A = this chain, B = another copy of it.
Amino acid sequence: MTAAAPAPISKAERSERAKRAFDHLAAPQDALVLFDDQFIFYYCGFAFFPTERPIGLIITREGERILFVPRLEREHAQQTSEAERVEAYPEFPGQRHPMLQLADLLTELGLETAHIGVDHDGYLSVMGYDGPPLSEVLPGARVSRVSRALDHQMALKSEAEVALIKESAYWGAQAHRLLQDYTRAGANETEVEARATKEATAAMIAALGDSYRGQNRWMSGAVALYRGQIGPNSALPHAMTTGATFQPGDTLVTGAGAAVWGYISELERTMFVGEASAEQRRFFQHMLNMQDIAFEALKPGATCASVDAAVRAYFEREQLWDHWRHHVGHSLGQRIHESPFLDIGDERVLEPGLVLSVEPGLYVPGLGGFRHSDTILITPSGMELLTDYPRDLASLTLS
């Protein structure tokens, strides 16, 4: 663990984010209305379980934050968010659609004919929500999507954010160590994951103390898992769990991280159950070479695309295209995947403060997948590894 547990993001930092959000926009806006739970947490610290009941955050030009929630979240929002004001509507669907009540609130704030930047034009949900776009219930306003600009703000991490991501990386590595220790031929994927995750989570909570909160949508505690990437099934980059039993000769692809005050990291390793075959060793070495090429290319001033292009050149040179499945990596920190992407189509320039996964992969049907993922920080002079775990073949061969 780091010398002292890092502090959660301060109220001052979140308040500053809300004021600064307007600096990132291509066109001036009078206010922002955000529906995505991750933007809401980012700007006002409200961590909640999104459902079919719309929740929205209004940010005025002066940086005042007004959180619009269903009645059942009122006290929760008042107690745990940093919004200057909380307004509640009774229920969804309710007797009057919540979006109409949001339009009332915006009108009361003098924003009925304003320029309003939104992440989405209306509320989104995967739980039976149905309702009109904001532009329809507030027809006098000019509603524009600005999520790309806000993604850009979110991508540049502060010192406090990097400290939380490092803490996450530390606990992810602890969980991964346990996962590796408990994995052996004959053991069951689900049991090994559950044991490593439970023990690493308990150790993390004991170390970080009672005030610790995970506050992340994708991870809870300190986790390590396989997600079905075992043996031939590891040739599927996004396999789903199958409750497999480990077999001698299996190629394994892992994943580990931890949720610390809303922030996460990503650590993945390719491992082998028993001595790797010549073919496994060959693909493992190609994968290591490609990750080294990406590390070399990651520096301020380079583009995201150039990093992907450097790795693609290796695929070309070594005639490995049959085994290509995806780009080199993605930003992360609060969301498990954030923009920008280390992708040939992403021309954004790398800047100090970006945190990215570096995970070029090779996939061989019948044999398995070959992918390490590390989390790195772009620094003024190059990059810094935030994850710390062995990556060589000997260290990742299970006896």
- Footprint of B on A, CB under 8 Å? 36-38, 47-49, 51-52, 70-73, 75-76, 79-80, 91-96, 120, 124, 126-130, 147-148, 151, 190-191, 194, 198, 201-202, 205, 210, 212-215, 217, 220-221, 227, 235-243, 324-327, 330-331, 335-341, 343-346, 365
Q: Is the CB–CB distance between A93 and B126 below 8 Å?
A: no
Bound form: Cα–Cα A163–B211 in Å: 42
CB of A216, distance to nearest CB on chain B (Å): 11
| Given A52-B330, A91-B327, A128-B339, 17 new contacts (CB under 8 A) | A38-B126, A49-B227, A75-B236, A91-B345, A95-B344, A126-B217, A127-B337, A127-B338, A128-B330, A128-B331, A130-B148, A190-B221, A191-B202, A198-B198, A205-B243, A210-B243, A213-B242
Among B72, B80, B331, the residue within 8 A (CB) of A326 is B72
Bound form: Cα–Cα A169–B338 in Å: 36
Q: Is the CB–CB distance between B76 and A239 below 8 Å?
A: yes
Interface centre among A73, A94, A237, A238 (most CB of B within 10 A): A238
Q: Is the CB–CB distance between B194 and A190 below 8 Å?
A: no
Among B47, B94, B190, B343, the residue within 8 A (CB) of A94 is B343
Kindly list chain B residues whose C-beta atoms are within 8 Å of the C-beta of A191.
202
Q: Is the CB–CB distance between B240 and A215 below 8 Å?
A: yes
Report the copy number of this chain in the oligomer: 2
Closest to A147 in B: B130
Kindly list chain B residues whose C-beta atoms are within 8 Å of the C-beta of A49.
227, 238, 240
CB of A124, distance to nearest CB on chain B (Å): 6
Q: List 28 A-B contacts (CB under 8 A).
A: A38-B126, A47-B240, A49-B227, A49-B238, A49-B240, A52-B330, A52-B341, A71-B324, A72-B325, A80-B240, A91-B327, A91-B343, A93-B343, A94-B343, A94-B345, A126-B217, A127-B336, A127-B338, A128-B151, A128-B330, A128-B331, A128-B340, A129-B339, A130-B151, A190-B201, A190-B205, A194-B201, A220-B241
Q: Is the CB–CB distance between A71 and B326 below 8 Å?
A: yes
Closest to A37 in B: B126
Q: Is the CB–CB distance between A335 and B127 below 8 Å?
A: yes
Known: A190-B201, A326-B91, A330-B128. Is A52-B240 also a contact (CB below 8 A)? no
